Structure 1
Amino acid sequence: MLKKYARFFKCSALSLLVLVICINYSEANVQISETGLNFFDFEEIKNDFFQQSDFNISNTYRSIDLEAVAKNAKCLKQMIEIQRGLRKEMWARKIVDSWGKIPSGLLNGNFYELGEFSQCLNIDRNGKRYETQYCLGQLTFEANLGIMPKSIGFGLNHNHGFWQMGKHTNIDQRLLVPIAEKKISITFGMCLPDSCSLHLTEKILNDVILKKGYKVKVSFPDNMCQVKESPSELKKIDIAAIFVLVTFFCLIAASTCYDIICTLTNRVKTQALLIFSFYSNGMKLLSYKKSKSPDMMHCLHGIRAISTQWVVLGHTFMMFAVLPARNKIDLLTFIKQYHNMIILSAPISVDTFFFMSGLLVSINLLKHFEKTKGRINIPLLYFHRYLRLTPLLGVTFLISMSLLKFLGNGPVWPLLMTKDTSCEKYWWSALLYVQNYVNPTEMCFGYSWYLSVDMQLFVISPVIIYIVYKLKTKSMSILLILILGCIGCDLALHQKYDIKGMKSRRMDIIYYPTHVRFSPWLIGVISGYIIFEARKRSVRIPKLFNLLAWLLSLALLAAVIFLNYPLIQINSEATWLAYGLYDSLSRVAWSIALFYITFACVNNYGGPVNWFLAHPLWQPISRVCYAIYLIHYHVLTVVMGQLKAPDYFTELKAFHTFLGIYVITVFVSIIASLAFESPFMIIEKLLFTPAKHAARNNRSENTVKN
């Protein structure tokens, strides 16, 4: 009897479970149907395209001119061969198998199915390579986004900040933004004979879809096809880049060999022949020792190195947000967590460099004015700065425009290579450091905007510092008025364009222009003047005041990082005033905090913070920070841009990637700095150092060696 009841309850429970599953499945089907995600069967479309389509020329081109018929005759013939080959030949099946499929996890933000890139471009037929092309296309359909998870638009909507950051770095986003105007686009990879035009393929596929009655459209953007895994043809600019690199390599090899031979044989070295020596220049670049000179501000080495690491960290996470990922929705969770504001606030690190730039130029020019009684050779000053920055920048641009494309491959590789003509049209504005005004929306490598702003601030620095030198403390009121003017200008632009978050045109309006970015630089100038004057007397800071000042400085830094939290959320309803006040005042607050940290450390009131920031081990990294800034994004591109399938984003994975990127970048930057930065600094010294000083230095060096 008990067994009978047990069997009855078991059957009842099983029936109830099946009923619940059916109900849930039915509800899920309704929800998916309402979103529009089950409007089509892509596998059926693909099957009909290859096996049911009529590739007869007369049927395909009944309404098209004879020229189009002749152009695509080979393609149609090859498609017929594939149709027949699908019955028994592996090469034909590999072509079809290389196509992408509708991916799982659509509601989790996975709108990418890139197919098999390498398989498509390595089809073998009867022992010979079958010429194919791998292309990216989009399936677009209408969907009820109101029924879909609210967060699905995060990182997918083209108005969100991550996409603007993508524009800032010249990423082609035509296939990376899947949601726009109540439509969803799924990016997929496909494999075709290399003779087939996208126009023809698009026409045939859409005809198949139309016959099925699906409310879907297929489109293929231009320049999204690849016929080889890596480009093999050299253009003129590629040859020019190779010539430049080979020339420098020969100079480096000759100079380094000369240096080593002279060192081993104890011969006197000629300074001019050591210009390109990796041995001598490397010893200087990688040396670390704490100088006892009162003029040295060792804490700046640590601040500069950490700020550069912050830039690389921010761009690494940005690449995860911009590139295809299987779980885009998890990015919403990422920005909702307060501790991640440390990463999301990375753009403020740029203001650290503006502050240090103003600080150093202020101290150096005040020293010079004091020594020369207000006289300065301005053309020579500008030439020194231009020679210091431009060679490495020019070589970086040259390699990026030419040889970089040979260092990677993959489905999204063309999206990461700049396809527009901005570099060809505006290379001169980049090398003249005026692109943030001349062509702010068509920058040749958007990350270089900082160099333009920094150079423009350096150009006006002699006038500003001369006023400080002449008027002393009275000049502070002038600088404060300029800072207030910068804040007012920022607020006025926010109001005029109703800027909320990272809207369209944000970068060229309130991010690139010098007139909205120079408040940290001016605070740096004021800081330089205070530190310069403080060196002339003994500085004593009361313990209580020092403690309170440190707490206030750290509180300001934390406030700048974390107060941005509500402004970057996708449901933020903040007004232009809130965004304007944060953008303008955060830079001022950040720079004031940096001023006291620097002032305290320079005057030995920094305690463990000064010990950490001024540690000699920061010095080699600090010296290559300029090279790291120029090179890190290209390392990111090469390492992350070769993905063959959408990655899965996690914070731990992104941080692990950052560590690898940073180590590689430092290594490459050391080589780049030794090859294209150090030699020009030596050339400048040889050209402009008085002959008697050079002779004295040589005699001193020989005396020490003997």
Structure 2
Amino acid sequence: MRRSSLILALLMCFVAICLGEKKITLGGMSAPKTGREMILEHFLHKTKPELNYDDLSKELLNCQNQWKLRHCFFSVFDSWAVPESGILEGNVRWTGHFKECRTARNQTIQGRWCISYFGFRYEPMPQGYPIDITLASCFPDICSEESIQIILEQFYNESPFLQHVMCPPTKQEPLTAASITGIAFAAFILYLVAMGTAIDVTLRVKKKPNSEDTKQKPKAIGVQIILCFSAVSNGEKILDMTKRPGTIPSLDGIRVFSMTWVALGHAYSVALFALDNASEVGRLVKSNAAMMAVIGAIYAVDTFFFLSGLLVAYLGIKHLNKTKGRINIPLMYLQRYLRLTPAYAFGILFSVGLYRYCGSGPYWTEVTDRVRELCIDIWWTNLLYINNFYPSINYCFPVSWYLANDMQFYILSPIFLLFFYRSKIVGSLLIGFICIGSVLTTGLITYFNELQPIAVLFSFQSSVFFRFFINTSVPAELSYTDKFQTDTYNTPWCRICVYLIGMATGLLIYETKGKIKMHSWAGSYRGPLPCAIVYSLFPQVHDTDFLSGNLSTFYETMARPMWALCMAWLTVACISGYGGPVASFLDWSAFKPLSRLTYSVFLTHFYVYMWFFAVQEKPFHLSNVNVVYYYLGTLVLSFGIGFVLSICIEWPMMGLVKLAFPGEKPKPLKEKSNGYTYQKAKPVMQTHVERGNVDVVNNEITQCVEHINGGFVPENQVTEQTAL
């Protein structure tokens, strides 16, 4: 506590040194002379300017002369930032009034908002307690950024702490190639959606009311392709709450809650870039055990890995048994790539070319330029799903590391499935061997590099001492040796264990036909173990105390596998009828529409959060009420945007994939009913959760199995989607 108080006292002295070296006398009292007061003194009292005109260009002189136009001077002056209270809490980012500056204008000029960064170093978009002091100013738009920097250097007496000056352009920048491509693609997609919707509505209107074949489709392939983009049909599929045969109970609820948990974690992590009371983060983390649930959102990602592995194994082994071990692996990869990539690629294109036109604010240009810089040269690595390997530092589309890992696991999955199909013992041993190898690799990396759990590190990083005395800037380059020796979060060899546990669970469900006997008290142990994984580190977080090497290694090695085993336990209990009210709630039909949007929400929610903070005129004030409104509001907005993305790109692509690869239909079970012959599809897994009322039929497979994200494709093509 004494150390923090000393550091904060030094910070206040640093603010005074940066912003007020000169003194003016007001009523006999001495006060720092800020840049705004110098401008007021110069232009209102016509004193001799304190600028070295010999060093200024003609452009700079013109910039100075424009200030003498008083039509908008007071608005410009009023929009300047001044030091505010709350410095001890981290309120050292003073943005002034952005819109007031921009709207200050006369016949020839308007205001240009700029921001100056003072400190020992400049770091774009620092996370947590700010490492620099920012002070906004307002100048005529005729002034260039270089001229403004010279003026500010003179105003602040050539302070060595002035590190950077940024002035967002006042006029809309010309369209780039990425922007033009994005607009053209979006217009083309909207045209297809409009055409598909119009044709679909027309066909519905013309359809005879008493027609027996209500699902008859046009024979023309071109019309079928256009109909894949119908917003009406796709909207009906997304919002359908019917429990279809072939689905595994509880997965929809697990998926929705995992997605909202991921969004909660990102809500706090993105907020760290724009707080005016950053010290409150450290206090909350160290004093409120509930914050461990926010940090524990990292395990929601492991839930998705588990679900993905479970469904790939469950559907894959059924396909192999049906086709007697035959599987078209290249086609399997192609279908998955076509299913995942279009919406993902549009998200990257939007972030690079169109995102910058979706708002304005004090930090909007800095945020959007940063997003563009991170992707403009390496976007292709994301589309090849190698972005977790190349380059060594890749922050293009922040959530994409998960997609790369999941795709790589999917590519490996046929190996495990084929071995298991040939020999259950060999397949099981292979899965177990790779899983143990992944756990040991994580443990060795953690032990030899003295790594700490993320929760403990976050507690330390939220301190004032860490922000000012430890360089947290991202290096321009990082050797692969350094990356792979310290990274246990993004690398596939440290993540595949959870995926394999999911595969083992899927194979177990298939082989036992979902009839797994458990003790009646088995369900009561599902809660304490996950809570222990999430909350067991709170004493260390509270005291900002590192774990010993052995204890840290044990936790990092076992936390993810144990979490996956908890998810396996929950899934099996719900299927076997031991889930009780938890299983009934997770299998609630209202979760189905939301679960079908999780992939699109996963792609968009991070940028929705950044947009929210970048368009604010003032930094965000962290409080429980503010966070609740911010999180729930942006979450609803993310689902809304995800719904639009699903209707326009995700679900149309699912329809096109199904149209291009129709697959073989299962042999029908013929029964007579009113003179018609129809196929009676037996359920792969009934959705009833009562014990003893679960029936699994493996020999007869329904034609379409619901994707984990709600899509429908022929089951015999094993095109199982990521768990999102």
Report the Cα offset of residue 140 of structure 1. Answer: 2.8
Report the Cα offset of residue 173 of structure 1. Answer: 1.6
Aligned match of 2:65: 80
| Superposed CA offset, 1:388-440 (max 9, x none) | 10011011111111111111110011232143633221111100100000124
1:61 maps onto 2:40 in alignment: no
Q: Is this contact kept in 1: 2:308–2:502, CA < 8 A? A: yes
Which of 364, 367, 384 matches 1:413?
364
Which of 229, 234, 237 matches 2:178?
237
One-letter code of the match for 1:74?
E
Aligned match of 2:193: 252
Which of 85, 92, 110 matches 1:104?
85
| Superposed CA offset, 1:277-330 (max 9, x none) | 111121111101223x3x42021000001100111111112222221x232222
Note closer, same or farther for the CA distance 1:497–1:231 as it changes in structure 2 (3 Å cut): farther
1:186 maps onto 2:133 in alignment: yes
Distance 1:482 1:348 in 2: 21
Give the secondary structure class of the aligned counterpart of 1:234. Answer: coil
Q: Any residues of structure 2 matched to 1:158-307 within 5 Å, and which?
A: 172-173=124-125, 178-179=130-131, 185-210=132-157, 217-221=161-165, 224-228=166-170, 231=172, 233-266=174-207, 269-270=217-218, 271-291=224-244, 293=245, 295-307=246-258
Aligned match of 2:211: none
Q: Any residues of structure 2 matched to 1:160-559 within 5 Å, and which?
A: 172-173=124-125, 178-179=130-131, 185-210=132-157, 217-221=161-165, 224-228=166-170, 231=172, 233-266=174-207, 269-270=217-218, 271-291=224-244, 293=245, 295-323=246-274, 325-336=275-286, 337-419=288-370, 421-500=373-452, 501=457, 509-535=487-513, 538-543=515-520, 547=521, 549-559=522-532
Report the Cα offset of residue 269 of structure 1. Answer: 3.4
Q: Any residues of structure 2 matched to 1:117-132 within 5 Å, and which?
A: 117-125=98-106, 128=107, 130-132=109-111
Give the secondary structure class of the aligned counterpart of 1:296. Answer: coil
Aligned match of 1:6: none
Aligned match of 2:626: 653
Q: Is this contact kept in 1: 2:50–2:155, CA < 8 A? A: no
Q: Is this contact kept in 2: 1:175–1:187, CA < 8 A? A: no
Note closer, same or farther for the CA distance 1:704–1:372 as it changes in structure 2 (3 Å cut): closer
Distance 1:577 1:122 in 2: 60
Q: Is this contact kept in 2: 1:198–1:220, CA < 8 A? A: no
Q: Any residues of structure 2 matched to 1:31-70 within 5 Å, and which?
A: 35-39=13-17, 40-41=19-20, 43-48=33-38, 51-52=41-42, 59-62=52-55
Distance 1:108 1:276 in 2: 51
Report the Cα offset of residue 464 of structure 1. Answer: 1.4
One-letter code of the match for 2:574?
C
Q: Which runs of 5+ in 2 are unaligned?
A: 21-31, 209-215, 219-223, 462-471, 475-481, 679-724
Report the Cα offset of residue 672 of structure 1. Answer: 0.9
Report the Cα offset of residue 474 of structure 1. Answer: 4.5
Q: Is this contact kept in 1: 2:129–2:278, CA < 8 A? A: no
Distance 1:613 1:33 in 2: 50
Aligned match of 1:5: none
Report the Cα offset of residue 692 of structure 1. Answer: 7.8
Moved more, 421-430 or 384-393: 421-430
Report the Cα offset of residue 570 of structure 1. Answer: 7.4
1:611 maps onto 2:584 in alignment: yes
Note closer, same or farther for the CA distance 1:134–1:668 as it changes in structure 2 (3 Å cut): same
Distance 2:528 2:248 in 1: 23
Aligned match of 1:24: none
1:135 maps onto 2:114 in alignment: yes
Distance 2:312 2:127 in 1: 44
Q: Is this contact kept in 2: 1:259–1:269, CA < 8 A? A: no
Distance 1:207 1:280 in 2: 64
Give the secondary structure class of the aligned counterpart of 1:646. Answer: coil
Report the Cα offset of residue 479 of structure 1. Answer: 2.2
Report the Cα offset of residue 583 of structure 1. Answer: 2.8
Of Structure 1 and Structure 2, the greater helix share is in 1
Report the Cα offset of residue 235 of structure 1. Answer: 2.1
Note closer, same or farther for the CA distance 1:574–1:695 as it changes in structure 2 (3 Å cut): closer
Note closer, same or farther for the CA distance 1:241–1:576 as it changes in structure 2 (3 Å cut): farther
Note closer, same or farther for the CA distance 1:175–1:309 as it changes in structure 2 (3 Å cut): closer
Q: Is this contact kept in 1: 2:443–2:557, CA < 8 A? A: yes
Which of 103, 109, 116 matches 2:97?
116
Distance 2:339 2:40 in 1: 59
Note closer, same or farther for the CA distance 1:177–1:440 as it changes in structure 2 (3 Å cut): farther
Report the Cα offset of residue 49 of structure 1. Answer: 5.2
Note closer, same or farther for the CA distance 1:568–1:60 as it changes in structure 2 (3 Å cut): farther
One-letter code of the match for 1:422?
L
Distance 2:268 2:618 in 1: 18
Q: Which runs of 5+ in 1 are unaligned?
A: 1-26, 63-68, 143-156, 159-171, 180-184
Report the Cα offset of residue 97 of structure 1. Answer: 2.3
Aligned match of 1:593: 566
Q: How high is the TM-score relative to the length of structure 2?
A: 0.78
Note closer, same or farther for the CA distance 1:350–1:33 as it changes in structure 2 (3 Å cut): closer
Distance 1:384 1:216 in 2: 58
| Superposed CA offset, 1:64-95 (max 9, x none) | xxxxx5xx31232331342x45xxx2512322
Report the Cα offset of residue 569 of structure 1. Answer: 5.3
Note closer, same or farther for the CA distance 1:313–1:210 as it changes in structure 2 (3 Å cut): same
Report the Cα offset of residue 526 of structure 1. Answer: 0.8
Report the Cα offset of residue 33 of structure 1. Answer: 9.4
Report the Cα offset of residue 35 of structure 1. Answer: 4.8
Distance 2:115 2:140 in 1: 14
Distance 2:251 2:440 in 1: 30
Distance 1:313 1:527 in 2: 28
| Superposed CA offset, 1:80-126 (max 9, x none) | 342x45xxx2512322322211121101111111011112122222x
| Superposed CA offset, 1:598-657 (max 9, x none) | 001112221101100011111111111100100111222223321101222112211221
Distance 1:44 1:678 in 2: 57
Report the Cα offset of residue 247 of structure 1. Answer: 1.0
Note closer, same or farther for the CA distance 1:584–1:571 as it changes in structure 2 (3 Å cut): same
Equivalent pairs counted in the alignment come to 614
Distance 1:570 1:194 in 2: 51
Give the secondary structure class of the aligned counterpart of 1:529. Answer: helix
Note closer, same or farther for the CA distance 1:175–1:591 as it changes in structure 2 (3 Å cut): closer
Aligned match of 1:91: 72
Distance 1:479 1:388 in 2: 27
Report the Cα offset of residue 695 of structure 1. Answer: 14
Distance 2:576 2:93 in 1: 56
Give the secondary structure class of the aligned counterpart of 1:446. Answer: coil
